[in-house]
Amino acid sequence: MSFRPAVLLCALCLLPFAGGCDWLRPYRIDVRQGMAIDGEMVGRLKAGMTPEQVRFILGTPLLSDPFHGDRWDYPYEFRAGRSSKIERKVFSVYFKDGTLARWEGDIQPAPVNEAGLNRLVEIEPAKK
């Protein structure tokens, strides 16, 4: 039994595809869907805020259930292009009597420094 050189060459060319080689796969972009809520935004929420104030901080909710008008949901999904891993997060705010009562979800508030700010702000000294 003899192998023809063309058959051997074809087999060698197709070998990387069978092995799942990463550099031969097509490029896929990162896909972000939903509202990206971060810890700094959550740290600004205070009980008793109006819906307009919450909308200013978090943005317009992606899901607003007509049957539960006192609940706003902010879902977020991230899929890396080269990975099959999907990162999902959900953040919900609840209103009672027209004001913010509570919130819950996968995002935790950012730590607050001693000045009460979520982020450090550098201030240049005044020139004399």
Task: Answer whether 0.75 is exceeded by the pTM.
Answer: no
Question: What's the pLDDT tens digit per position in 33-90?
Answer: 888 888 888 989 999 999 999 999 999 887 777 888 899 999 989 888 777 788 888 9
User: Does residue 57 contact residue 109 with C-beta atoms inside 8 Å?
Assistant: no
**CB neighbour list of residue 92: distance below 8 Å, 6 or more residues apart:** 71, 72, 73, 74, 103, 104, 105
Q: Are strands 31-34 and 63-64 parallel, antiparallel or unpaired?
A: unpaired
Please tell us whether the domain made up of 30-105 is placed in CATH 3.30.1450.
yes
Q: Could you give the CA distance from residue 20 to residue 96 in angstroms, rounded to a whole number? A: 54
User: Residue 48: its pLDDT value, please?
Assistant: 93
Sequence ranges of the domains in the chain: 30-105
Distance of CA 19 to the CA centre of its chain: 32
User: Residue 94: its pLDDT value, please?
Assistant: 94
For residue 24, name the pLDDT band (cuts at 50, 70, 90): low
